[in-house]
Amino acid sequence: MRALPLLSPALLSGSMLAGFVLTAPLSAAQAQTHIVSVGGALTEIIYDLHQEDRLVGIDSTSNYPDAVKRLPDIGYMRRLAAEPILALNPDLLLIEEGSGPPAVLTQLHATGVTMIMIPDTPGLPGVVDKIHKVSAALGQTAAGDALAAQVESAGQILAARLAHVQNRPKVLVLMSGGKGNVLAAGDGTAAQAIIDLAGGQNAVAGFSGYKPLTPEIVAASAPDVILIPDFALAGLGGEKAVLDLPDLAGSPAAQNKRVVVMEGMLLLGFGPRTPLAATDLAAALHPELHLTP
């Protein structure tokens, strides 16, 4: 964020970035064979469209399928550097919203490489939108439509199964913790969205983003289930340590030992695997439904 444009010429390029989504030359897209994908969901979509041979680089949030690991990693999507990306000689950058820093995006854009920004909205419509945008960028609209339909129908099946469920277990998502106060997910987060899809409710509400909570609020939230992304588990000291936290010890979740640990990118990535993730979570939240993921 530091080296941002002081003057209007550079400002202009910033707004051009946004405009690019609409003006990307789709006809020429077929030719692009050196694609760098920034964002795990985008990489998954490219694999699902069987276009992985056109990939030359991925970011560190791209960890599915396992085959991606053969590709050069350009680092964490929010801390990109221009040179390692350009070193791959890309002809198309697919970039998920939230990547940065913005100055580096401006810089990349200034080099003339084609960049397409893909919005990231937690929820199934957001996933479908990503699929359409990525497949359009790759000139694979038909395959994209098929994939989108698959995701939508998987979503509809789960929604139908959950339609009659009365109880919505209260789920507390812990993103990190350790010595300090636990970091919980609030409104508008990917965690909140996946809980909604899986027929649960967020145990804490009334704040947006991820916030450290005071132990008393955590205790008062009385969650039925504690949900932990796998990357946060070690920091929290393991499942048993979580259940022993004084602020959680008295909760229904601790009494019934209901801790769910799920792969972080599957849970929060909002890509084609999201219906699967939601079904997994729903199975854990509603054992009475005997959902088979």
Partner 1 sequence: MLMLGFLLVASFIFSAGLGAVQIPPSAILSVLCGALGLPPLGQHTALQATVLISIRLPRILLGLMVGASLSAAGAATQGMFRNPLADPGLIGISSGAALAAGLLIVLGDRFLAHLPSDYRAAMLPVAAFLGGIVTTGIVYRLASRDGRTHVTTMLLAGVALNAGIGAALGLLIFLSNDQSLRDLNFWLLGSLSGVTWPNLLVAAPLLILPALLLLRLAGPLNGLLLGETEAFHLGFAVENTKRAVTVLTALTVGTAVALTGVIGFVSLVVPHIARQLVGPDHRVMMPAALLLGASLLTLADLLARTLALPQEIPIGILTSAVGAPFFLIQLLRHRAAAQS
Q: Kindly state the smallest distance separating residue 214's Cβ from partner 1, in Å.
A: 13
Does 163 bind partner 1 (CB under 8 A)? Our answer is no
Q: Does 2 bind partner 1 (CB under 8 A)?
A: yes
Nearer to partner 1, 9 or 246 (CB): 9
Does residue 101 have a cis peptide bond before it, meaning omega lies within 30 degrees of 0?
A: yes
**Residue 50 or residue 179: which is nearer to partner 1 going by CB?**
179
Q: Which is nearer to partner 1, 69 or 79 (CB)?
A: 79
> Quick one: 22 or 160, whose CB is closer to partner 1?
22
The whole-angstrom separation of Cα 192 and Cα 266 is 14
Identify which range of 13-21, 131-139, 198-206, 274-282 contacts partner 1 by CB under 8 A.
Answer: 13-21
Nearer to partner 1, 38 or 233 (CB): 38
Site string for partner 1, 75-114 (x = CB under 8 A): xx-xx-xxxxxxx-x--------x-xxxxx-xx--xxx--
Report the residue from 20, 21, 24, 73 that binds partner 1 according to the rule CB under 8 A: 73
Per the CB < 8 A criterion, the answer to whether 137 and 95 are in contact is no
Among 15, 23, 27, 292, binds partner 1 (CB under 8 A): 15
CB neighbours of 27 closer than 8 A, spacing ≥ 6?
A: none
Closest to partner 1 by CB, 87 or 205: 87
Under the criterion CB under 8 A, does residue 3 sit at the interface with partner 1?
A: yes
Q: CA 13 → CA 23, 103, 108, 134, distances in Å?
A: 14, 11, 11, 22
Which of 5/237 has CB closer to partner 1?
Answer: 5
Q: Which residues are 58's β-sheet partners? A: 37, 73
| Residue with smaller CB distance to partner 1, 84 or 237 | 84
> Rounded to whole angstroms, how far apart are CA atoms 10 and 23?
19
Of residues 111-140, which lie at the interface with partner 1 (CB under 8 A)? 111-112
Question: Cα dihedral angle (95, 99, 105, 108), rounded to 10 degrees?
Answer: -50
Cα separation values, 78 from 36, 98, 104, 111, Å:
15, 7, 10, 20
Please state the closest distance from residue 53 (CB atom) to partner 1, in A.
21
For position 9 contacting partner 1 by CB under 8 A, the verdict is: yes
* Residue 69 lies near partner 1 (rule: CB under 8 A): no
Residue with tokens 């085959």: 67
Rounded CA separation 106/113 (Å): 11
Among positive and negative, which fits the CA dihedral 261, 147, 118, 129?
negative
Please say whether the beta carbons of 165 and 291 come within 8 A.
Answer: no
Restricted to residues 192-221, the positions that interact with partner 1 (CB under 8 A) are 208-211
42, 71 in Cβ contact below 8 A? no
Binding of partner 1 at residue 21 (CB under 8 A)?
Answer: no
Shortest separation between residue 236's beta carbon and partner 1, angstroms: 18
| Separation of alpha carbons 259 and 285, rounded Å | 10
Binding site for partner 1 (CB under 8 A): 1-7, 9-11, 13-15, 72-76, 78-79, 81-87, 89, 98, 100-104, 106-107, 110-112, 208-211
